[in-house]
Structure 1
Amino acid sequence: MASSIYHGKPGSYKTSTAVWFHILPALRKGRFVCTNVEGLFSLEEIEKILGEKFPETAYLFRVSTLNDIGVNTMAKWFHWLPLGAFIVIDEIQNLYNSKDRTDFKVHDTNRSVNTLDRILDFPSLPENVKYLSQQALISVIDDGYTDDMGISERDSNGHVLYPVNIKDALMRHRKYNWDIIGCTPEIAHVHTLYRGVSEKAVSHRSFDFVPIPWFQRRPRTHEHNPMEKGIRPVKGETVKRPKIPVKVFSLYKSTQTGKNNRSGVNENPFKNRATLFKIFIPLSIVLGFLSLPLFYGSDPKGADSKQVGSTSPAANGLVSKAHNTIAGQGVPVSSGDTHNPIFNDAPDFLAQLKVEQLFIVGHVQKSKFLGIVKTQNGAESRQTITDYFVFSASSKDAQYTFNSEDLKEMGYTIKKITNCYVQINNVVRTVHSFCNPSLPASEPDSKNESILAGI
């Protein structure tokens, strides 16, 4: 594991992930675990809650960093932490902040002091923790190794030399078999000393705002370069959605009040005014054009020959899963009360909605100017164009509207073929979506004709 960073907005399950998938397994292996996770229960209480017994060597050292003593203890962990221990630093940006330009010299120690003396003299450290650190230290037998100048790599007592500063500790933590996880809501606030030596950074984002049970307590996580912010997954990064069990929340209090606010409550794209403006202004324009035949009439016979009919491949579309091809996208596959959803495999977002029809109802393009490039034919401007599509989906009981960005957030990729034809892909299928065919206008009844005649 070595050193890692878990980051994400508050409520993105980064701390619960560290507790359930790392702290508990470390205790089950009988390791010494140190953490400042707020409200974490004692080892004995956790055993009662889980109904299991940890090995005799397992030890949980909880340190609150809401006070100066706890901050000093956690920030100087390399002064006293037992060899082979596992440490989880929650809110690590409060200990090693990116705006601190002092290189944390306040945490340094004197190289001439023996390791054992550093451990025993560390202020406020419980005696049993000092004892465990001492036992781990003396268990490593001095093999008498010296370099070619006759200098030993041990201290005067023959014990392992601990790091003298945080930079040395982070750079060489593997040599002491230390594993470190730092959790933070904003990775940019964590000092580059820690980010630079981390093996990986894992971005967390909650999808509790999606009104589908499968997404509850299943954050989207992806590993990325710790020196980058990693807000969204990019090509080549592995995306996972681990299920966070409810049991983990009985092991610690994630808030001071003991109550939890619902995560992701403000992330619903349809509750954001700016997003609504971007979606529904183009959508209203497109729907206006599509509804023109309803007001001005059209030739039913012409409609049969010029418009996409219900049997057209563009109207029906194709859904390919593995090596099977199934008809039934643009219009319902069957009639009557029988419904055949085009997406039917969980954890597919659209499968959960039981979508039967999926049409493109809006399309806008956003261009970004990149600059002027000198070529053989003169100067040329370079720009990138990004396509945004608005989709209308319908199921047996409801109708939904969402855009291509929403689908990307749910794990889909969107491939534009034409302005009226896109491919929607996920790990199990490719779905073809087309523009909604214009509906032929119905003949006005006699009542409407009499009204118009009187105008």
Structure 2
Amino acid sequence: MATEIIHGAPGAYKTSSLVSLYVLNALKENRTIVTNIRGFASIEKLNETFFSAPKKTLFNRNPVQPDQSTSEIIHISHDLDGFQKMARFFHWAPKGALILMDEGQEVYPSRLTKLNEYDLDHHDDPEWPRTVENAFNKHRHFGWDVYISTTNIAKIHKEIRQVAEYAFRHRNLAGLTGFKGRFKRVQHDPETSGKTLSHVLSTTYNKMDVRVFGLYGSTTTDTVKDITNDNQIFKSPKFIFVMLLFCAALLLLFYVLFMVGNPLSTKPVPSIASSAKPSPSKSHESRSKESSSISSGDVLDGAGDKDVLYSDLVDSIQFLDSTIFSFDGLASSRTYFFTSSLGRFSSDDLFSWGYSINVHLSYVLIFKDDFYKYVRIGDPNPTYDHFEDAQQLSSSSNTQPPVHLN
């Protein structure tokens, strides 16, 4: 036994949910239905409309045709007199009945200061509820399930909201492409509006069975239409702004991951203009003369005169330190710094001069065409507890590791 309030804007599948969620199951159990839903007055209409229509996707998955001899629908008129009678349902409703109140703000409006005008003066059963409050408090004892629909839950009297178990806020999703006939159903405490995230207990997305619309009429002409949301989400400036921001973020991520890449990639970067290259201080001839004093495997120069190997740059190169740059853990790059007789430069500079780099555990391999050189570094991934320690280590000359040539 339950007491629930369903609310939402017009066309949010409130009334159709009352029918599809509660009526069909109640009739399968041969319960009496008490309702003021316009046009929903007979089991014959239910059988004719629901079970004769082409089968569609069901909101109620396993409908069973109700037995007309045992099931009953008590229909109350959808007008002022009917609203007054629905407010006094506990005066006359049989035990075990399913009570469906459409337009509940007309039955128990919040503008009423008291509900004592609906009190029951006398009943043969001494346990029978005499007031609206007692009726809702004892609804389980009499087998009553009470479901109320309204356009705004704030319009329902506070006494009813306080005793209700749950409330459901409906929103029509017809304004979204491909979401026709679907709605969002948010469960929340009846004493809240259900409009903020802190109010939400659960959220479901449902598709209404189109056959349900044939069971009742939502207007005096007994016609039912799905609404078209004029404020479609794809036309919303906020949605457009968020999508543009999202696309910009994707482009930036693509640029960082694929265009910038890892600066220590083995793929050479095209050489910059020759004016940016350091001028060699030794001729190729002098380097050839000095090469005899270098042990085998130290520097292998197979490029000949066709390439400038920048001996002042390479022969005196020393590993200095490294700096790590990360991008949200998705991609990382490391720039290495070196010193030589030409001064301080980075791995990016080596790339721009046409060299490539491979980093290994104990050395950095610098190569270009047929030339390559090992620079021993001990540990290519130094870590420091403080940034100041790293700066001091990189700027102190006596902390620079010596060059060992293979």
Which TM class, normalised by the smaller chain length? 0.5 to 0.7
Q: Which residue of 2 aligns with 1:210?
A: 176
Report whether the alignment pairs 1:114 with 2:127. no
Report deviation, 1:31: 0.3
Report whether the alignment pairs 1:195 with 2:207. no
Report whether the alignment pairs 1:3 with 2:14. no
Q: Which residue of 2 aligns with 1:227?
A: 191
State the distance in 1 between where 2:160 and 2:66 align: 34
1:83, 1:178 within 8 Å by CA — same for their partners in 2? yes
Q: Which residue of 1 aligns with 2:15?
A: 15
Report whether the alignment pairs 1:84 with 2:48. no
Larger Rg: 2
Report the AA paired with residue 166 of structure 1.
Answer: V
Q: Which residue of 1 aligns with 2:72?
A: 59
C-alpha offsets along residues 343-381 of structure 1, whole Å, 9 cap, x if unaligned?
A: xxxxxxxxxxxxxxxxxxxxxxxxxxxxxxxxxxxxxxx
2:120, 2:131 within 8 Å by CA — same for their partners in 1? yes
Report whether the alignment pairs 1:309 with 2:322. no
Report deviation, 1:281: 11
Report the AA paired with residue 8 of structure 1.
Answer: G
State the distance in 2 between where 1:83 and 1:243 align: 32
SS, match of residue 241 in structure 1: strand
Go from structure 1 to structure 2 and tell me whether the alpha carbon gap of 1:45 and 1:200 turns closer, same or farther (over 3 Å shift): same
Report deviation, 1:55: 5.6
C-alpha offsets along residues 144-174 of structure 1, whole Å, 9 cap, x if unaligned?
A: xxxxxxxxxx54xxxxx32111111112111
Write the mapping of 1:94-133 to structure 2, written as runs, cut at 5 A: 94-101=106-113, 103-110=114-121, 113-115=122-124
C-alpha offsets along residues 199-219 of structure 1, whole Å, 9 cap, x if unaligned?
A: 11111111111112xx22221
2:39, 2:216 within 8 Å by CA — same for their partners in 1? yes
SS, match of residue 73 in structure 1: helix
Go from structure 1 to structure 2 and tell me whether the alpha carbon gap of 1:63 and 1:236 turns closer, same or farther (over 3 Å shift): closer
State the distance in 1 between where 2:115 and 2:261 align: 69
Q: Which residue of 1 aligns with 2:270?
A: none
Is there any run of 5+ residues in structure 1 with no aligned partner, and where? 116-153, 156-160, 291-303, 314-419, 423-431, 433-455
Report deviation, 1:44: 1.4
Go from structure 1 to structure 2 and tell me whether the alpha carbon gap of 1:250 and 1:261 turns closer, same or farther (over 3 Å shift): closer
Report deviation, 1:243: 2.0
Report deviation, 1:14: 1.5
Report the AA paired with residue 178 of structure 1.
Answer: W
Report the AA paired with residue 62 of structure 1.
Answer: H
Q: Which residue of 1 aligns with 2:128?
A: 162
Q: Structure 1 residue aligned with 2:229, among 246, 251, 265?
A: 265
- Which moves more between the two structures, 247-256 or 180-189? 247-256
Q: Which residue of 2 aligns with 1:355?
A: none
State the distance in 2 between where 1:257 and 1:201 align: 29
Report deviation, 1:225: 0.6
SS, match of residue 174 in structure 1: coil
Q: Which residue of 1 aligns with 2:204?
A: 240
C-alpha offsets along residues 390-418 of structure 1, whole Å, 9 cap, x if unaligned?
A: xxxxxxxxxxxxxxxxxxxxxxxxxxxxx
Report deviation, 1:261: 4.7
State the distance in 2 between where 1:31 and 1:282 align: 51
C-alpha offsets along residues 104-130 of structure 1, whole Å, 9 cap, x if unaligned?
A: 2211122xx333xxxxxxxxxxxxxxx
1:5, 1:226 within 8 Å by CA — same for their partners in 2? yes
State the distance in 1 between where 2:106 and 2:27 align: 26
Q: Which residue of 1 aligns with 2:148?
A: 182
Report deviation, 1:11: 0.8
Provide the alpha-carbon RMSD of the alignment: 3.2
Write the mapping of 1:304-383 to structure 2, written as runs, cut at 5 A: 308-309=257-258
Is there any run of 5+ residues in structure 2 with no aligned partner, and where? 52-64, 263-326, 331-406
Report the AA paired with residue 63 of structure 1.
Answer: I
Go from structure 1 to structure 2 and tell me whether the alpha carbon gap of 1:280 and 1:76 turns closer, same or farther (over 3 Å shift): same
Q: Which residue of 1 aligns with 2:36?
A: 36
Once superposed, which parts of structure 1, at least 4 consecutive aligned residues long, lie more than 6 Å away? none
Q: Please, what TM-score do these two structures have when normalized by structure 1?
A: 0.49
Go from structure 1 to structure 2 and tell me whether the alpha carbon gap of 1:310 and 1:229 turns closer, same or farther (over 3 Å shift): same
Go from structure 1 to structure 2 and tell me whether the alpha carbon gap of 1:221 and 1:232 turns closer, same or farther (over 3 Å shift): farther
State the distance in 2 between where 1:282 and 1:220 align: 22
Q: Which residue of 2 aligns with 1:75?
A: 87
1:219, 1:241 within 8 Å by CA — same for their partners in 2? yes
Report deviation, 1:26: 0.5
State the distance in 1 between where 2:165 and 2:86 align: 21
Aligned residues: 249
SS, match of residue 160 in structure 2: helix
1:29, 1:55 within 8 Å by CA — same for their partners in 2? no
Report the AA paired with residue 98 of structure 2.
Answer: F
1:86, 1:179 within 8 Å by CA — same for their partners in 2? yes
Report deviation, 1:307: 5.5
Go from structure 1 to structure 2 and tell me whether the alpha carbon gap of 1:308 and 1:41 turns closer, same or farther (over 3 Å shift): same
Report deviation, 1:188: 0.8
State the distance in 2 between where 1:307 and 1:73 align: 69
Q: Structure 2 residue aligned with 1:173, among 121, 127, 139?
A: 139
Q: Which residue of 1 aligns with 2:213?
A: 249
C-alpha offsets along residues 304-341 of structure 1, whole Å, 9 cap, x if unaligned?
A: 9x95535959xxxxxxxxxxxxxxxxxxxxxxxxxxxx
State the distance in 2 between where 1:182 and 1:268 align: 29
Aligned identity (percent) is 31
2:27, 2:66 within 8 Å by CA — same for their partners in 1? no
C-alpha offsets along residues 261-299 of structure 1, whole Å, 9 cap, x if unaligned?
A: 542513313445xx35x9559969x98xx9xxxxxxxxx
